[in-house]
Chains A and B, each alone.
Chain A
Amino acid sequence: MTTQITPGPARVHVRTTINGNAHEFLVPPYMSLLDTLREIVGLTGTKEGCLDGNCGACTVSLDGRIVDSCLVLGAEIDGKSVETVEGMATPEGLHPLQQAFLEEAALQCGICTPGFLVAAKGLLDNEPAPDEHRIRHWLAGNLCRCTGYDKIVRAVQKASAEMS
Chain B
Amino acid sequence: MVATFEPKSEYKVIGTRPIRHDGLDKVTGRAIYGADIKLPSMIWGAILRSPHAHARIKSIDTSAAEAMDGVHAVVTNADLPPAENKMVDLGEGATNLKWAVDNILASDKALYAGHAVAGVAAVDRYTAEEAARAIKVEYEVLRSATNVDDTIDPDMPAILEEFVDSPGAKESGHANHVKEFTHEFGDPDAALSEADHVVEGEFSLEMVHQGYIEPHNATAVWDEDGRLKIWTSTQGAFTVRQQVAAVMQMDESKIRVTPLEIGGGFGGKIPIYLEPVAATLSKKAGNVPVKIIMERRSVFEGSGPAAGGKITLKLGATKDGKLVAADSVLRMEAGGYPGSLVGASGMCIYACYNIPNMRIVGYDVLVNKPKVAAYRAPGSPQVAFAIETLIDDLCEQAGFDKWQFRRDNAAKEGTRRGDGPIFPRIGMEEVLDAAKDTDHWNSDIGEASPGRLRGRGFASGYWFNVGLQSSVNLSLNNDGTVELVEGSTDIGGTRASIAMQTAETLGISAEDINPTVVDTDTVGFTAVTGGSRVTYATGYAAYNAAIEMIDKLKVRASRLWSIDEEDVQFEDGVFSSKSDSELSIGFKDLAGKLDDTGGPVTSTGSVDLEAAGGAYGTHICDLEVDPETGKTDVVRYTIVQDAGRAIHPSYVEGQMQGGAAQGIGWALNEEYYMSDDGVMSNSSYLDYRMPTSLDLPNIETVIVEVPNPVHPYGVRGVGEVPIVPPVPAVGNALKDAIGIRLRETPMNAGRIVDALDSENGS
Task: Give residues in A with beta carbon < 8 Å to B.
Answer: 1-8, 28, 30-31, 35, 38, 43-52, 54-55, 57, 84-86, 88-89, 94, 98, 101-105, 107-114, 117, 132, 135-137, 139-154
Contact = CB atoms under 8 A, between A and B. Distances in A.
B293 interface: yes
Interface string B457-474: 000000000000000000
B71 to A, nearest CB: 6
Contacts of A94: 24, 27-28
Contacts of B24: 94, 102
Contacts of A57: 213-214
Contact of B492 (A43, A52, A108, A132): A108
Contacts of A117: 27
A96 to B, nearest CB: 11
How many chain B residues sit at the interface, stated as a range, is: 35 or more
Given A102-B23, A146-B492, A153-B698, 18 more contacts: A3-B123, A45-B29, A47-B214, A48-B35, A49-B214, A55-B296, A101-B27, A108-B655, A108-B658, A111-B263, A141-B692, A145-B658, A146-B658, A148-B659, A148-B660, A148-B696, A150-B699, A154-B698
A109 B72 CA distance: 34
Given A109-B264, A137-B694, A89 B492 contact: no
Interface of B: 17, 19-20, 22-24, 26-33, 35-36, 68-72, 123-127, 210-215, 261-266, 286, 293, 295-296, 491-493, 648, 650-651, 653-655, 657-662, 684-686, 690-696, 698-699
Given A49-B213, A105-B20, A112-B213, A145 B654 contact: no
Contact of B651 (A43, A84, A108, A148): A108
A110 B26 contact: yes
Contact of B693 (A3, A52, A153): A153
26 contacts: A4-B123, A5-B123, A6-B123, A7-B68, A47-B35, A48-B293, A49-B213, A50-B215, A50-B296, A50-B685, A54-B685, A55-B296, A57-B214, A102-B19, A105-B493, A136-B694, A145-B210, A145-B212, A146-B264, A146-B491, A146-B492, A147-B657, A148-B658, A148-B661, A151-B650, A152-B693
Given A44-B36, A49-B213, A98 B28 contact: yes
Contacts of B31: 110
Contact of B264 (A31, A141, A145, A153): A145
A146 B659 CA distance: 7
A50 B211 CA distance: 11
A150 B685 contact: no
Contact of A150 (B648, B694, B698): B698
**Most chain B Cβ neighbours within 10 Å, of A8, A47, A145:** A145
Contacts of B213: 47, 49, 55, 57, 109, 111-112, 143-145
Contacts of B651: 105, 108
Contacts of B698: 132, 150, 153-154
Contacts of B22: 110
B705 to A, nearest CB: 19
A4 B492 CA distance: 39
Nearest to B637: A148
A108 B684 contact: no
Nearest to A46: B29
A137 B35 CA distance: 29
Listed from nearest, the 3 A-B pairs whose CB atoms lie closest are A45-B29, A111-B263, A148-B661
A109 B69 contact: no
Nearest to A118: B29
Looking at A43, A94, A147, the one whose CB has the most chain B CB atoms below 10 A away is: A147
Given A2-B70, A7-B69, A147-B654, A45 B264 contact: no
A28 B125 CA distance: 12
B28 A45 contact: yes
Contact of B215 (A49, A102, A132): A49
A52 B296 contact: yes
Nearest to B698: A150
Contacts of A144: 213, 693
A50 B263 contact: no
B29 A136 contact: no
A110 B25 CA distance: 9
A111 B296 contact: no
A86 B24 CA distance: 12
Nearest to A111: B263
B628 to A, nearest CB: 22
B284 to A, nearest CB: 12
